[in-house]
A and B are shown apart, each in its own frame.
Chain A
Amino acid sequence: EVQLVESGGNLVKPGGSLRLSCAASGFPFSRASMNWVRQAPGKGLEWVGRIKSKSDGGTADYAALVKGRFTISRDDSNNTVFLQMHGLETEDTALYYCTTGAADYWGQGTLLTVSS
């Protein structure tokens, strides 16, 4: 059974940093690209970025709104993908989901609140 479990969400002040994690199981993680998608309270879905598998180059792509502030990385030995966030803004407040490459599986999400 595929499982994605996000963690690390918290209350952070504007300008602060935070790292989210997503632990994956039930599929060949090292061969999968992984996405982060966020959902602001009461709003729709917004793609944040994705990281390719190492065999596909391991590079990451980002949405314009987060490029330069957010970094996606992966640890294939622990089946985990990370979202490192810097320069957080109140507009980054959202439930952050990790998903498999084709959005076929989703975690339950972890909540980031950016507020002073």
Chain B
Amino acid sequence: DIVMTQTPLSSPVTLGQPASISCRSSQSLVHSDGNTYLSWLQQRPGQPPRLLIYKISNRFSGVPDRFSGSGAGTDFTLKISRVEAEDVGVYYCVQGTQFPRTFGQGTKVEIK
């Protein structure tokens, strides 16, 4: 199984400041079709997860442009350019390249 490792596990951020979360996979996420199926999810307190980013860097419908994704191969990053109060929650990376699908442990973003 592909192991997804996120760092940090907790990220206290000042409102208006940037935040960055790293996700590393135990093997390359490049699929045989040439795509890299790495997504980022946001889970606000008491809510189900919500898709933010798919295929490394594509923002899902309705996602603010302060969220961006980057990376390749085994190393990926989610950045929030300026954290807002509504961004508080847990962020997960997930790989869709190989079964079983596997998630990172989650990174808790909170306001300092």
Interface residues of B in 51-109 (CB under 8 A from A): 51, 54, 60, 90, 92, 94, 96, 99-106
Report yes or no: A45 in contact with B48, Cβ–Cβ below 8 A: no
Report yes or no: A103 in contact with B94, Cβ–Cβ below 8 A: yes
Question: Which of A45, A64, A97, A108 neighbours the largest number of chain B CB atoms within 10 Å of its CB?
Answer: A45
- Is A104 an interface residue when CB atoms closer than 8 A count as contact? yes
Contacts A44-B106, A45-B94, A103-B41 given: A64-B49 contact, CB under 8 Å? no
- Is A35 an interface residue when CB atoms closer than 8 A count as contact? yes
Name the distance in Å between B51's Cβ and chain A's nearest Cβ. Answer: 5
- Is B50 an interface residue when CB atoms closer than 8 A count as contact? yes
- For A45, list chain B residues within 8 Å (CB): 41, 43, 49, 92, 94, 103, 106
The bracket for how many chain A residues form the interface is 20 to 34
Residue of B nearest to A45 (CB): B103
In the assembled complex, the Cα of A6 lies from the Cα of B102 at a distance in Å of: 22
Report yes or no: B105 in contact with A44, Cβ–Cβ below 8 A: yes
Contacts A35-B101, A44-B106, A45-B103 given: A102-B96 contact, CB under 8 Å? yes
Report yes or no: B101 in contact with A47, Cβ–Cβ below 8 A: yes
Chain A residues with CB under 8 Å of chain B are 35, 37, 44-47, 50, 61-64, 97, 102-109
